[in-house]
Amino acid sequence: MNIDTGELRRITKENEEELARAGFVQVPFELAYAARFKLAGKDSAQVSLTSGGKLSKWAAQQRKLARKKRARARTKKNRRRMAQESRRRNRII
């Protein structure tokens, strides 16, 4: 499932790498039944990200975790950059 767009696709061995590169994340085992029900025998389906169902709640949680991860990386980068600039300013010429 692409957690940003709500697109749900059936993963096969042939398309597994392609879908991973396209931003698709494998649905956890606990939600496999809901995913199969949503697919209903088709290869892809659209999940509403605002419905409040199991899949949409899981996708929202994953988006939140990804946002936190990006923010954490950004703050580390900013701290490192600020320390580097400070060292540069405080150098004795």
pLDDT tens for 61-83 read 999 999 988 888 788 888 888 89
- CB neighbours (10 Å) of residue 42? 10
Average pLDDT for 6-30: 90
CA distance 35 to 40: 9
Does residue 93 carry a pLDDT above 80? no
Does residue 23 carry a pLDDT above 90? no
Asked if 1 and 7 touch (Cβ cutoff 8 Å), the reply is yes
Q: Which of 59, 62, 39, 40 is nearest to 50 (CA)?
A: 59
Compute and round to an integer the Cα radius of gyration of the chain: 20
As beta bridge partners, residue 24 has 2
Task: Indicate the pairing of strand 7-9 with strand 44-46.
Answer: antiparallel
Average pLDDT for 29-53: 92
Does residue 12 carry a pLDDT above 90? no
